[in-house]
Structure 1
Amino acid sequence: MGRIPRRFRPILAGATLRDRLYACGGALAALCVTALLGYVVVGPEAALPFLVAPVGASAVLVFAVPASPLARPWSVVGGNVLSTLVGLGVLAFVHDPFLAAGLAVGGAIAAMSLFRCLHPPGGAAALTTVIGGSVVSAAGPLFAFVPVGLNSVVLVAMGWLFHRLAGHAYPHRAPRTDPAERRSRFRAEDVDRALAEVGEAFDISREDLGVLLREVETQALVRRHGELTAGDVMSREVVRVTMHDTPETARALLLAHDLRTLPVLGPDGAVVGTVGLRELVRPATCVGELASPPLTAPVDLPALALSRALSDGRAHAAVILDTEGGLCGMVTQTDLIVALCRALTDPV
């Protein structure tokens, strides 16, 4: 019995049941809206279809794997429209259906690769064009834009709206280069050489692959030294300010104690942000107006799990919270260096 459920697990790395259910709901809503708008634009009396089949395949990418380079808006819109234009070109000069089908799909792959909008449903769009019959041939170049282009644009817009409401980023944003990358044991050129050595194409951008590999390094370190928690290495005597304190008070505390970050507490004692000299350069009447969102972590988190967050150039310290969410300590970059030294000198 234990083996049967595993057969139904998503084969995509990182996929969860929750994400798949969201994808089902998003595709349902998006295809309904796309069909409705296509029906309104094309009209009930028009010979053109108001929804084309390749858009269903595009929906799978947009909603199930939005981080894929193949699901980016330019890939969806450009890939489908460009492939349809290729199919129309083939249809105009090649009348043998078997040869036309092969030329259309092959030409679509070449065109999408050239214009950096590779999108698997584009092959279906090209094939649909050459086997679509008199309706497609009569529409001419218009078919590439209505309904194919229209369907693709509406689908992308629905994808953006849905993922925004669901808390995901679409279009997927490649992670920015940060100091952690320069300190990693591998470089971008190492990733390029590894991909060239393997000799296969993978459905992930090089930037995302680099981030994933750096996170693998962090998780391997945590696995080997997970017994060392944030509570073990944190500074317990925490200098703090309240959101109603003046910027001058915060600046004086930072300089007096040689600190880079102070936690900012609200009226109920909860941590509402952090402040450092970087924030204090702006004019304000109280610290609460300048506080940045805090980097927080539970007291039982493995200390080395903070290595990436404290080395990306955005945060100098993590606020450590107890089991009830109250402030109980701080882990600074210095504290983390000490923890790393302890981990590297202790036997595995």
Structure 2
Amino acid sequence: MKPGTLIGRFVPRMVKVSLLERARSACGALIGILCTGLIARSAVGSGADLPILIAPMGASAVLLFAVPASPLAQPWSILGGNIVAALVGVTAAAQIGDVMMAGAVAVSVSIALMMLLGCLHPPSGAVALTAVLGGPAIRSLGYTFVAWPVGLNSLLLLVCALIFNNVTGRTYPHAAPVESRNDVGSGAAMGAGLNAADIDAALAQFDEVLDIDRGDLHAILRRAQVHASLRQSGQTTCGALVTRTTRAIAPGTPLRDALTVLRQHRLTMVPVTDESARVLGVVTQNDLIDKTVGWERRAPRLGFGRRIALMFQRGRAPDGTVADVMTTGSVTLQPAIAAGTAAWLMKQGGLHQAPVVGTDGRLIGIVDQMDLIGAMLADIASEHAVPDRRVAGLVNG
């Protein structure tokens, strides 16, 4: 459906996510609602007159498990929003005789207070309405309704969201990406003359609640600019810049020898390969510094804590070799990757040098980040250069 058509304007253009993300959201809601209901039922008993689980928790589950990065889904949003709405709803039901008027006032005042307190949570509007229209069982609870079932339901669902989201790889409560947290508030330039203050000014002009974290918006713009730069960075590839006369070491190499290789060849990283030259990981200077606790005769040594940790992981004592400190799952590059893309991947992985491997995973050589950046800048410069000297002369004249 085309977004420009009248009907298309009514259909949201949502960003598509992977099947895994959709399954994670659905499973999270299943676990969250089920655990909340079962724990609440065990607390009051199955035959109790008290409501065990209220309907607005279903809407809260959509936010907490499907869009946990939303400002509307954060812990203060669900706890503060639901409690404020419950207080307002119970008060409106007690003070206003007409049910329809009481419901309208409850929802309206709840929205105003949630926006004032920074805990806007859409399902809380349903909480306020439930306090008014929930029937005799809800009305008989009075302000107890705030603590039970609203308070306990909200708390239980929040605990489930905290556990599930973090166990499955999400960061919850949501935090803006590190790069944007460092830049936001400092006026740091994002490139093309755009900085954090410009984002604030643009958001102020909208003058409406946008369902995206300010830091996330900043990070999205930064990454969009990165992709734009990579698109314009020409066609020089890693294969054209790779250093093929490189040194690799085996996982059983002693730490002292690994340090010697790094020093003698003036490397910040050395690939670790098996007997078939397939890359198993890398050893960096930081690995030798961060994953060892001391030095004996100018060689790094493993500390007691790391030895114990490695014993639990492997079931045997560590050997003080490269295998004990190497970084696995590190950035490996294909020869056909463009220089700009490779430089960006290395920055994300915190590497100044990276191994280049063939389709079979065997080591070809290494590339240096500065060489990649130099090639990228040269490509951009050549792309924007005036091709005809006569045209250049006319411009200069």
Aligning the two structures, in what range does the TM-score lie when normalised by the shorter sequence? Answer: 0.7 to 0.9
- Partner of 1:319 in structure 2? 355
Q: 1:171 to 1:245 in 2, by over 3 A?
A: same
Q: Structure 2 vs 1, CA of residues 199 and 38 (structure 1 numbering), >3 Å: closer, same or farther?
A: same
CA distance in 2, matches of 1:236, 1:187: 41
- Greater C-alpha Rg: 2
Offset at residue 57 of structure 1 (A): 0.8
Residues in 1 aligned to 2:222 and 2:76: alpha-carbon distance in whole angstroms: 28
Task: Report 1:72-91 matches (<5 A).
Answer: 72-91=74-93
- CA deviations over 1:61-120 (Å, ceiling 9, x no partner): 122212212122332233222321232233343333333223322332233234332211
- Distance in 1 between the 2:238 and 2:123 partners? 48
Q: How many residues align?
A: 345
Matched, 1:335 2:371: yes
Q: Given the superposition, is the C-alpha separation of residues 151 and 321 from structure 1 closer, same or farther in structure 2, using an over 3 Å criterion?
A: farther
Q: Given the alignment, which residue of 66, 69, 73 partners 1:67?
A: 69
**Which residue does the alignment assign to 2:308?**
none
Unpaired stretches in structure 2, ≥5 consecutive residues:
293-300, 303-319, 385-397
* Equivalent residue number for residue 198 of structure 1: 206
Quick one: structure 1 residues 179 and 291, their matched pair in 2 at CA, closer, same or farther if it must change by over 3 Å?
farther
How far apart in 1 are the matches of 2:157 and 2:246?
Answer: 51
CA contact (8 A) 2:180 2:216 kept: no
State whether residues 180 and 218 of structure 2, in contact with CA within 8 Å, keep that contact through their aligned partners in structure 1. no
Tell me, in whole angstroms, the C-alpha distance in 1 between the residues paired with 2:63 and 2:334.
36
Return the offset for 1:128: 1.2
- Cα pair 1:178 1:313 within 8 Å, conserved: no
**Equivalent residue in structure 1 for 2:220, among 195, 198, 212:** 212
Q: d(CA) in 2 for partners of 1:98 and 1:59?
A: 27
Residue matched to 1:130: 132
Q: Label 1:297 to 1:14 Cα distance change in 2 as closer, same or farther (>3 A).
A: farther
Percentage identity across paired residues of the two chains: 36
Deviation at 1:16, TM superposition (A): 4.0
Deviation at 1:266, TM superposition (A): 4.6
Contact preservation (8 Å) 2:331, 2:346 = no
Indicate which of 321, 340, 352 corresponds to 1:286: 321
Change (3 A) 1:313 1:44: closer
**Aligned 1:124-273 pairs, distance under 5 A:** 124-164=126-166, 166-177=168-179, 184-185=190-191, 186-225=194-233, 227-266=235-274, 269-273=277-281
Paired AA for residue 263 in structure 2: L
Which residue of structure 2 aligns with residue 299 of structure 1?
335
Structure 1 residues 2 and 94, CA gap change in structure 2 (3 angstroms): closer
2:235 corresponds to which letter in structure 1?
E
Normalising by structure 1, report the TM-score: 0.85
Partner residue of 1:45 out of 40, 44, 47: 47
Contact 1:236 1:329 in 2 (8 A): yes
